[in-house]
Structure 1
């Protein structure tokens, strides 16, 4: 399956926007909540935002409950890949601890992209081409 470069660029832009949204929500919520509940709520808000931005902008697909419920797997995957990446980079490759998380995060982007694409476009691929295109335009 050919992956359009525009889709990858949009996915990356959504990720950057999502990170900013998370941080802004976190800072705003900190005015009313202790730091950890603010962190969790900001994380959940940004994950929901990421879901809708990726369905509409990146993959141009229709959001469904099934996709919505599976989407957190992309965040879990990102966490696992970046966590393992940091360990490998710091312990085995002796990369500076301040740089390793950024490098690991960059390495996680392709993995997260493939998984999110699979989750968010899976049902659309099973529909007839005309129906899938019509769903993407809604």
Structure 2
């Protein structure tokens, strides 16, 4: 039964990720269209979506109580995610010349499995 539970958890993670991707992308695009540089738009969109993601992951995905301890650990593990996303976005836009509006989408596809593993470890870890 554990495998089925993990599968359901991953599906909930994907659904939450899709919703969070929409949150990020709407914020990113609005800021980009308002004249902010793409990297500043990206960081602002990421941070806003990040806070929303914490609560969605606690309540919907992993079904754990959001605590200050988890909230404080959550960003530490997401540094890897943010770094990978930012580096890939920079490479896709500045090196490969991809469109700033399209480039975040493949970036997110690449980083989802890594983010799931890190997030699961942090949020399901027993509180000390």
| TM-score range relative to shorter protein | 0.5 to 0.7
Tell me by how many angstroms 1:78 deviates.
3.0
Q: CA RMSD in A?
A: 3.6
Tell me by how many angstroms 1:6 deviates.
0.9
**2:57 corresponds to which of 46, 54, 72:** 54
Q: TM-score, with normalisation over the residues of structure 1?
A: 0.61
Q: TM-score, with normalisation over the residues of structure 2?
A: 0.65
Tell me by how many angstroms 1:31 deviates.
5.6
Rg comparison, structure with higher value: 1
| Compared CA separation, residues 53 and 106, structure 1 to 2 (3 A) | same
Between the aligned partners of 1:6 and 1:47, the Cα distance in structure 2 is 22
Specify every segment of 5 or more residues in structure 2 that has no aligned partner in the other structure, as ranges. 89-97, 99-104
Between the aligned partners of 2:52 and 2:24, the Cα distance in structure 1 is 9
Tell me by how many angstroms 1:77 deviates.
2.9
Q: Secondary structure at the match of 2:27?
A: helix
Match of 1:24 in 2: 26
Match of 2:6 in 1: 4
Tell me by how many angstroms 1:61 deviates.
0.8
